Amino acid sequence: MSQAGPSTGASRMQTVEDALLSFPKAPAHFFGRDDILDDLLDLAARPAPATLYAAGGMGKTAIALTLLHHEEIAIRFGKYRYFIRCDALENSVDDLLGRLSEAGGFPRPKDVAQLVSHFEASPTCILVLDGIDSIIDPLVPGATEITTTIEELGRCPKVCLVATSRIDVKIPGFWRMRVSRLSKEAARATFHSHCSLKESAGIDDILSELSFHPLSIALLASAAEENEWDQPALLEAWSDGKTSILKASDQTSLEDSIESILRTPTIQAFGATARETLEAIAKSPGDVQEAELSNLFPEINGVEDAVRALRKFSLLYREDGLVKMVSPFRLYFQHFRRLAKSAERPFLRIDSLIRPPPKNLEPRRHDSRVSSPNAGPRVRFVYRL
């Protein structure tokens, strides 16, 4: 396992090029993922298009940004490295073409063929389309046309295209790469890079309970650091709070990651069934056999179709004929009713929710990361419970 990134041996030229780039830096903390990065470097050398897919918070964007800033990529593509966040786009081919031509510095094309001809006349570039699931949901108008546009761009030999997606989308010609959980070592390194607690079996157990899910680990470690919990306080807060601890107010929270999928047109089309299905599976005491879904949950009308759609959006996955959910998501849906019921209540400070209160809640000197206007002066993270 290594801390990947361009820092070691990076040339001065690369540093200058990086400073000119308009997209985010490589993540400061990045562990594991050597295999996937090696595969992506191989594909970039051909170049061949790829889609990284996984549930929210699994580290797709982190991998894509680390790739873009990787020394080999920086030297090969120089300033011709582009990163486009698709959730900032409207669902139209026009908007996508506009954004792509802006990135490449071309005049606005009338269609994808004209855009491809601009790319063909330019130096080879690497392009990340981050979060294409937000523009290719099958129920979004124009989704098919957008997918075709991405496919055609992927076919252009002068464009090395890497897409990230929560949907396992099958675009002809694209390599599909599933981003799985971190290794235990990488999960541990991630946790301890965000907070100063020493390694321990107790913390390892929590990381494993979180399925080594990077976003959840980063949230938990930040909560521990910001509240200056010692290990007993962390373990106690974890056993009391679980999902609420994962709702750090100044990061993309687990809730955002999950709820944004539930708002997509395809999942919305299932109405209440989608959430009922997720809650039922999260609370199910035993294994959920895919073949037994309608027997296990007779009260949920259309449970099989809902599971199929939810699997497509990575909220559920299938393993050995069983329907499963990564544990941070399971925790979320186990507690959802309680969280939702109190959503109208004002924010509460975490120290009033955990008994006995965590120690050492003295203010820290740097207060810049306080983001909630409701935060009290002594505690950084506030939660709804």
Residues in touch with Mg ion (CB under 5 A): 60-61
Distance of closest approach, residue 229 Cβ to ligand ADP, in angstroms: 19
Tokens 């990787």 belong to which residue? Answer: 70
Burial tier of 347 (Cβ tally within 10 Å: 0-12, 13-18, 19+): middle
- Answer yes or no whether residue 246 interacts with ligand ADP by CB under 6 A: no
Distance of closest approach, residue 166 Cβ to ligand ADP, in angstroms: 7
Nearest one of 120, 113, 112, 118 to 92, comparing CA atoms: 112
Helix or strand run (H / E) with residue 52: strand 50-53
Residues 143-182 that bind ligand ADP (CB under 6 A): 182
Cα gap 234→243, rounded to integer Å = 13
Of the pair 30, 83, the CB lying nearest ligand ADP is at 30
Q: Which of ligand ADP, Mg ion, none lies near 328, with the C-beta cut-off 5 to 8 A by kind?
A: none
Tokens 């990575």 belong to which residue? Answer: 314
The single residue among 30, 82, 174, 270 that binds ligand ADP, judged by CB under 6 A, is: 30
Q: Which one of 23-31, 75-83, 140-148, 268-276 is the stretch in contact with ligand ADP (CB under 6 A)? A: 23-31
Q: Which residue is nearest to ligand ADP (CB)?
A: 59
Q: Which one of 85-93, 212-220, 231-239, 300-308 is the stretch in contact with ligand ADP (CB under 6 A)? A: 212-220
Of the pair 148, 193, the CB lying nearest ligand ADP is at 193
Residues 31-90 that bind ligand ADP (CB under 6 A): 31-33, 54, 56-62
- Answer yes or no whether residue 5 interacts with ligand ADP by CB under 6 A: no
Of the pair 61, 227, the CB lying nearest ligand ADP is at 61
- Helix-helix angle 184-194:201-209, to 10 degrees: 110
- Tell whether omega for the bond before 24 is within 30 degrees of 0, i.e. cis: no
Residue length of the chain = 385
Q: Could you give phi then psi for residue 61, rounded to 5 degrees?
A: -65, -40
Cα gap 13→5, rounded to integer Å = 16
Distance of closest approach, residue 342 Cβ to ligand ADP, in angstroms: 26
CA distances from 36 to 42, 53, 159, 176, 179 (A): 10, 12, 20, 11, 8
Burial tier of 121 (Cβ tally within 10 Å: 0-12, 13-18, 19+): exposed
Q: Which one of 26-34, 93-101, 233-241, 262-270 is the stretch in contact with ligand ADP (CB under 6 A)? A: 26-34
Q: Which one of 24-32, 109-117, 199-207, 269-277 is the stretch in contact with ligand ADP (CB under 6 A)? A: 24-32
Tokens of 265: 């047109």
Q: Which of ligand ADP, Mg ion, none lies near 56, with the C-beta cut-off 5 to 8 A by kind?
A: ligand ADP
Interface ranges with ligand ADP (CB under 6 A): 27, 29-33, 54, 56-62, 182, 190, 214-215, 218
